[in-house]
Amino acid sequence: METGKVWLVGAGPGDIGLFTIKGMEVLKKADVVVYDSLVGQGILARIPPEAELINAGKRASNHTMPQEEMNRILLEEAQKGKHVVRLKGGDPFLFGRGGEELELLAEHGIPFEVVPGVTSPLAVPAYNGIPVTHRDFCSSLHIVTGHKRAGKKYDIDFHALVKTGGTLVFLMGVSALGDICQGLLEAGMDPQMPAAILQQGTTAGQKRIVASVSTLKEETERQGIETPAIIVVGKVCALAERFGWYEKLPLAGWRVLVTRPGNLISRTAGSLRELGAEVLELPSIRTVPMEDQSLLMKALDEISSYQWLVFTSPTGVEMFFQELKGAGRDVRCLGGVKIAVIGEGTAKKLREYCLVPDLMPEVYDGESLGAALAAVLRGGERILIPRAEKGNASLVTLLEQAGGQVNDIPTYRTVYEKSRLIDEKAEFENGRIHCAVFTSASTVKGFVEGTPGLDYTRVRAACIGKQTKAAADAYGMQTRMSEKATIESLVALVVKMKREADCGEQKE
């Protein structure tokens, strides 16, 4: 059997935008993924559905798997000929025990690669407006583990650290914040030296407390802090308020669930992230071609007899042209056929095949499409609609009432999916998701399939159209509908919902 290979991949500090391109490419090809609890949920959601998952756990005082066992698992899975990805929060070699994990692999001749990750001592201060180096304040940076074994004293040379005059970053030291500050003060640090504790940096849970070395523990106890968090000590901490930028983004502090077909990466998610949201992008549905495409193949044989070809989704366009290609044909056979689409997203997909729609309604839904097309029919036109197995019946009714001869062919069906790694129900119940974004009625149904028992009245839902809103309304969600059925309008709605929620909190 061919020997497998292991990749140690740094997942970064949490924001999926800080996950490296190489890390993403390696992850896509994984047979086995060994992940830890510090990996951001957005990245966990990108693990291939066919990959085997192994939870290594690892968080302070809660080690799910002993290090020796983890090393052995990496070795054994590689010996089976598999591509193994060890997915680690931050960077594999910065207090990540990456070196320990490689020792056993090297001993047994297992090939490996290391994919560095964006590390929290740099990224988290940056997201909080703290430059870890600044020539007006310091000339060095020192990264120290703040973790100490139970019942033992620190082996940190606080005197040496104070003497450097540089920025100090302590990782895994939240529980020992008092000991760290006391150690620095006893080593001669100025009690007024600026210091900060930074919670869950680069995510929606980001929070910072800036004080001095002598007052940081007291301020932290007063304001409260959650892990993971890092401690930064140095004059550069005084720049946080002036240089802070993340909290100024319109959606900073909001976690948004975007439901999507499992084979797609959502443009909606990208737009929300640009505005500061932490987006949890989870598949709720998967579209698969119908096993029997004989009806479509027959229609393709007669395509010159049709006057209109109607697409109601980007997936419908994609499925149609896959079958067209499979039949050994190209777009030239559509030369005499006019094309109608339901909206801009479908039109965009059509343009990928160098075709421009002849008709698109002003309102992007099935009824509006049917009414717009019915208005231009003279009667007797043959109309082909290749679409989802369960499509909007009113579209066909409107066209037939106008005299159209409609051939409504199911070309794909929707399968509901549930995340293997993320408990969506628990995320909503614990208040960790502020809003769910739905782009179709089927994604609403997929979400419900994956969250049985959830009290849906607790779900804020941003919906892209009437049918989507109606589907969410049926479950009692707190629904809002975008003014237009476009991604831009939907994103604007989420911004408006956050603004209203923030105003409500301030009034309370």
Per-residue pLDDT of the chain (508 residues; tens, 9 = 90+): 577 999 999 999 999 999 999 999 999 999 999 998 889 999 998 999 899 999 987 544 455 678 888 899 999 999 999 999 999 999 999 988 889 899 999 999 999 999 999 999 999 999 999 999 998 998 899 999 877 666 667 778 999 999 999 999 999 888 889 999 999 999 999 999 999 999 999 999 999 999 999 999 999 999 999 999 999 999 999 999 999 999 999 999 999 999 876 655 678 899 999 999 999 988 777 788 999 999 999 999 999 999 999 999 898 999 999 999 988 888 999 989 999 999 888 999 999 999 999 999 988 888 899 999 999 999 999 999 999 887 778 899 999 999 999 999 999 988 877 788 888 999 999 999 999 999 888 889 889 988 999 999 999 999 998 889 999 999 999 999 999 888 899 999 999 999 999 987 655 5
Task: For residue 112, give both structure tokens.
Answer: 């490996």
What is the reported pLDDT for 418? 79
Same domain as 269, residue 337:
no
> Domain range for residue 260?
255-287+417-507
Task: For residue 198, give both structure tokens.
Answer: 């930074």
Across the strands, what pairs with 405?
A: 382
What is the reported pLDDT for 63? 54
Same domain as 242, residue 129:
yes
CATH of the domain at 19: 3.40.1010.10
Same domain as 442, residue 390:
no
* Residue among 15, 31, 36, 365 flagged as catalytic: 36
In sign, the C-alpha dihedral spanning 148, 152, 157, 162 is positive
Distance CA(356)–CA(353), nearest Å, equals: 9
Distance CA(71)–CA(50), nearest Å, equals: 23
What is the reported pLDDT for 507? 58
Do residues 233 and 184 make contact, with C-beta atoms less than 8 angstroms apart? yes
Same domain as 237, residue 134:
yes
Do residues 307 and 339 make contact, with C-beta atoms less than 8 angstroms apart? no
Same domain as 446, residue 391:
no
What is the reported pLDDT for 66? 84
Q: Which of 118, 147, 165 is the last residue of a domain?
A: 118
Same domain as 399, residue 307:
yes
**Pick from 307, 270, 266, 294: which is nearest to 404 by CA?**
307
In sign, the C-alpha dihedral spanning 262, 265, 271, 275 is positive
CATH of the domain at 304: 3.40.50.10090
| DSSP summary character for residue 176 | G
DSSP codes, 371-401 = HHHHTT--S--EEEEEEESS--HHHHHHHHH
Same domain as 142, residue 227:
yes
* Residue among 5, 58, 88, 217 flagged as catalytic: 58
Task: Give the chain's domain count.
Answer: 4
Same domain as 444, residue 366:
no
Same domain as 407, residue 303:
yes
Same domain as 396, residue 306:
yes
CATH of the domain at 241: 3.30.950.10
Distance CA(55)–CA(52), nearest Å, equals: 10
Q: Which of 118, 137, 164 is the last residue of a domain?
A: 118
Same domain as 382, residue 296:
yes
Catalytic-residue membership of 36: yes
Distance CA(260)–CA(46), nearest Å, equals: 12
Do residues 208 and 197 make contact, with C-beta atoms less than 8 angstroms apart? yes
What is the reported pLDDT for 59? 47
Q: For the chain, how far is it from start to end, CA to CA, in angstroms?
A: 65
Q: Which of 79, 100, 118 is the last residue of a domain?
A: 118
Same domain as 93, residue 9:
yes
